[in-house]
Structure 1
Amino acid sequence: MFDFWTGAEDLPVYGFLIRALIVYVYIFILVKILGQRSMVAINPIDFIFGVIIGDVVGEPLSSGDMPLGGPLAAAALIGGLHLGLSYLALKTPRFRRVIEEEPIIIIEKGKILVEELRKAKITLESLLMDLRLKDAADLAEIDFAVLEANGQISVIKKTKYDSVSPADMGQNPKSKGYPSVLIEDGHIIEANLKKYGTIQWLDEQVRKHGFRNVREVFVLTVDETGNTYASGREVKG
């Protein structure tokens, strides 16, 4: 009668259905006790918790001969440990630095911090994608960009771009379009350069931004209005 709880090699279908219902309600209650943080802001500790809980309670759903009580007890212990770590992190700032990553500034005062970008293992393409998702495709408008503890990038635009919009002024400026990368980590992207100008024109843009040559530029972009943005790189040797 209680084969759904103790397990059996020939567990009937209704036994698996009862197990699925129990596990679903159990996880629902566990998440409610732990709070929304585990679902909204996924940091490394939350990710580990989710993987372990899924593995512990998922096995009895596929193996009918496994008792259900042990995995649920183990899940309760793991949930209690996770809740305890979260509470300690909330109350103890020093301990918080151990289990939670510190925010990393990857763009500071409009300049891309190349070393921080490499430490965070973020490629230029990934950075540009995240900025576009934050409605910050124009690098020239960005003051700060921060890689937060949950892996998302937050953007702070320069003050002059956060005030009055062109629509408020009754203006209708030309669309900037999609910015193209012309220089990436000291190398020219020739396929993109052909759409906007020549090597001589690019050299002029490089010097206009205060660099002596292409090797000193980490990234240079241009939008469809011809405006360019450039940020330097560390040249070794």
Structure 2
Amino acid sequence: MDEIASLLTNTWSRTISSSYPPQKIEFTGTLLIQLLFFWLPSFIYLFLDVLFPSFSARHKIQPAPRQPTRKDIWRCVLVVSGNQVLTTGLHALQLFLAAKVGREGSYRVEAALPSREEFVRDFILCLLLREAMFYYSHRLLHRPIFYSKIHKLHHRFTAPIALAAQYAHPIEHIFANALPISLPPQILGSHVLTFWVFLAYELFNTATVHSGYDFFAGKARMHDLHHEKFNLNYGSIGVLDWVHGTDRLVHKKRD
């Protein structure tokens, strides 16, 4: 364990001491995390049917007739790619504007690694802040005025696939998907490595819960039920669903 920590420390120190500016380190690392922890797992989940058909059949939550068609999947890839370009462009713009006013970036990019205590504290606080931001923005998007114009696009996948986690209207993608993940570590002044670990966790988690497979203690099944019934399981970690009673199916109009 000490050897791994030493290797990480030395690698990070060399990266910081290189000629790369902090903005470039933050931008490049963030994009790599998105590719490795959202796009790659999403395509692995997508091709489980082909690569491991018997395993896939045992763990698939919804039956074959409800699964999206190839046309649906291709449209999903195009929409999600557009959202990736949008958030990557906004991140680049944010870093550009920060440099103009003399700031190095959105997060702390420094040679020293965050302490274990700081990392654990910031990670837990980011989870809680993200839960609050996502839960309430998600509930708001289920209001009729926003659902019909914005959130309905995401719910076209009644049997979701991993990529459909970011199959959303651009407004929803910014305010319900991107900001609840990127803002908490900015508010806390977190180290960029803490942000990257938090981002990796959230991206892998959202890909998994939208995968349509019953992995990870039933979390995918819980969100699958949200896509099927609409009026429960709005949150990510379930705390606010428990507080507001939306962890149980209620037969009422969409809210």
Structure 1 or 2: larger strand share? 1
**Relative contact order (alpha carbons < 8 A, sep ≥ 6): 1 or 2 greater?**
2
Q: Which of these two proteins has the greater Rg computed from alpha carbons?
A: 1
TM-score range relative to shorter protein: under 0.3
Taking structure 1 as the reference length, the TM-score comes to 0.26
Structure 1 or 2: larger helix share? 2
